[in-house]
Amino acid sequence: MTEEKTLSREALKMREFSYSPYSHFRVGAALLDKQGNIYTGCNIENSSYSPSNCAERTAFFKAVSEGIREFEAIAIAGGPEGAQELNYCPPCGVCRQVMREFCEDDFKIILVKSEEEYKVFTLGELLPQSFWADF
């Protein structure tokens, strides 16, 4: 199975763990580190909204909290609760900036509709002219 399919499958599974009682928009993510380990996450909402966390950041924060700092790719699957078919769900600006903190321009971002249907972008494509500490 290809790396993209494996990550897509994991991101789709993580949607099921989404806690999204306010938006009813479920998102799952699967993050691949440079050693081949996968860290997963889902979106977690809060009634006051600002403490909510996106699936992508959940996966990154889990990995970083375990000492991981080098990453290859992330797959993101998202859409309305109960949707029969997903659309591509790109990461929000905050998540793109978190990715920039730990990843180079060639970091792969896989937008998932299904295990078989996905698009691959680089961080450089989705966050051109970005800001980072070495700027």
pTM: 0.95
Mean pLDDT, the chain, rounded, equals 96
Per-residue pLDDT band at 113 (split at 50, 70, 90): very high
Return all residues near 2 (Cβ < 8 A) that are at least 6 apart: none
Cβ atoms of 110 and 119 within 8 Å: the answer is yes
pLDDT at 91 over 80: yes
- pLDDT > 70 in the chain, percent: 98
Q: Which residues pair with 122 in a beta bridge?
A: 108
Catalytic positions, written as ranges: 56
pLDDT, position 6: 97
Q: What is the pLDDT of residues 10-47, one digit of tens each?
A: 999 999 999 999 999 999 999 999 999 999 999 999 99
Spatial strand order in the sheet of 25-33: 38-42, 25-33, 71-80, 108-112, 118-122
Per-residue pLDDT band at 134 (split at 50, 70, 90): low
pLDDT at 133 over 80: no
Distance CA 125, CA 36 (A): 23
pLDDT at 127 over 60: yes
pLDDT at 103 over 90: yes
pLDDT at 135 over 90: no
